């Protein structure tokens, strides 16, 4: 069996569960959006990504045994508990480390991809909608199939291990395993006639032990935060839109078409809004 030429490392952001009422009020409950996002890269670059983040950790914390998560960096009490407190660092020093991590992402031989599900819009449009992780996973793999077709590549997917079950009691992890197998055997359900002949295996891994998944966590959160802060702008007719500051640092790494359009290629929103003008590059 041919060996994969590329690796896709995925993490999620936002809660997996829907709010049955379709009303999302925030405040620590179920989130209005769910995102899968991460890094698509040749096998050799996956090794570079891992060693690069380890080197940054060692220089800042004095050890590589530190897990990087967007929420832990963002939330003050988590930052103090996990980074500034244990290692005697200032917020400025942690901020400088974060900037170096985003610079690493920008320098890698990799492309970024993400798929976001607007849960309320899905619930309004479809009588029996899929759960958000299934929608995001298939939308994202459609785009990576397209990317692999351009270079005759073969893709293996690694996902940050997940917990939790649907209201019917099915584990989200098990659902994605079955979904992946169906894509390989039957092709896309969302896009008729689309086959996944550039897709190979799938595995789940603990992000604590994999620097590539820690980078994927940052990518997924950037896209999630973009929609929390500037969601309506995405569907506007403006050719350029405001950007979450950390997304702006890595927007050039997202997949795009030959005209430089990111929307619908590197960052996919589901469902689409009719009449939305595609845009290429965000700006602050």
- Record the pTM: 0.94
pLDDT-wise least confident of 47-61, 69-83, 96-110, 250-264: 250-264
Q: What mean pLDDT is predicted for residues 4-13?
A: 97
Q: What is the pLDDT of residue 274?
A: 64
In terms of Cα–Cα distance, which of 62, 53, 47 is closest to 98?
A: 53
Q: Higher confidence at residue 241 or residue 43?
A: 43
- Provide the pLDDT confidence category of residue 25 given band limits of 50, 70 and 90: confident
pLDDT band for 11, please (50, 70, 90 cuts).
very high
Domain locations in the chain as residue ranges: 6-48+107-270
pLDDT of 36 > 80? The answer is yes
Range with the poorest average pLDDT among 164-168, 176-180, 250-254, 258-262: 164-168
For 6-48+107-270, the fitting CATH number among 1.10.10, 3.30.450, 3.30.420, 3.40.50 is 3.30.420
């Amino acid at each position: 069996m041919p060996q994969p030429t590329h690796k896709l490392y995925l993490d999620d952001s936002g809660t997996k569960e829907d709010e049955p009422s379709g009303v999302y009020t925030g405040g620590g409950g179920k989130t209005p959006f769910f995102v899968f996002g991460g890094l698509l890269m040749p096998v050799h670059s996956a090794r570079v990504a891992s060693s690069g983040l380890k080197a940054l950790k060692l220089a800042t914390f004095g050890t590589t045994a530190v897990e990087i998560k967007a929420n832990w960096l963002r939330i003050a009490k988590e930052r103090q508990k996990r980074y500034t407190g244990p290692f005697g660092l200032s917020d400025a020093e942690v901020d400088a480390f974060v900037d170096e991590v985003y610079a690493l992402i920008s320098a890698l031989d990799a492309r970024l991809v993400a798929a976001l599900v607007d849960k309320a819009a899905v619930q309004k449009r479809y009588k029996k909608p899929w759960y958000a992780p299934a929608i995001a996973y298939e939308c994202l793999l459609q785009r990576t199939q397209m990317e692999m077709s351009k270079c005759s590549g073969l893709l293996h997917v690694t996902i940050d291990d997940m917990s939790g079950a649907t209201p019917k009691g099915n584990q989200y992890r098990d659902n994605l395993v079955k979904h992946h197998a169906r894509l390989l055997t039957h092709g896309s359900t969302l896009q008729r006639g689309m086959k996944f002949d550039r897709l190979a295996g799938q595995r789940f891994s603990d992000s604590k032990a994999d620097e590539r998944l820690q980078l994927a966590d940052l990518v997924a959160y950037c896209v999630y935060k973009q929609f929390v802060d500037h969601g309506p702008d995405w569907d506007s007719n403006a050719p350029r839109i405001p950007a979450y500051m950390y997304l702006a640092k890595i927007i050039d790494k997202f997949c795009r078409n030959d005209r430089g359009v990111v929307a619908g290629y590197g960052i996919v929103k589901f469902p689409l809004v009719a009449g939305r003008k595609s845009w290429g590059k965000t700006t602050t």
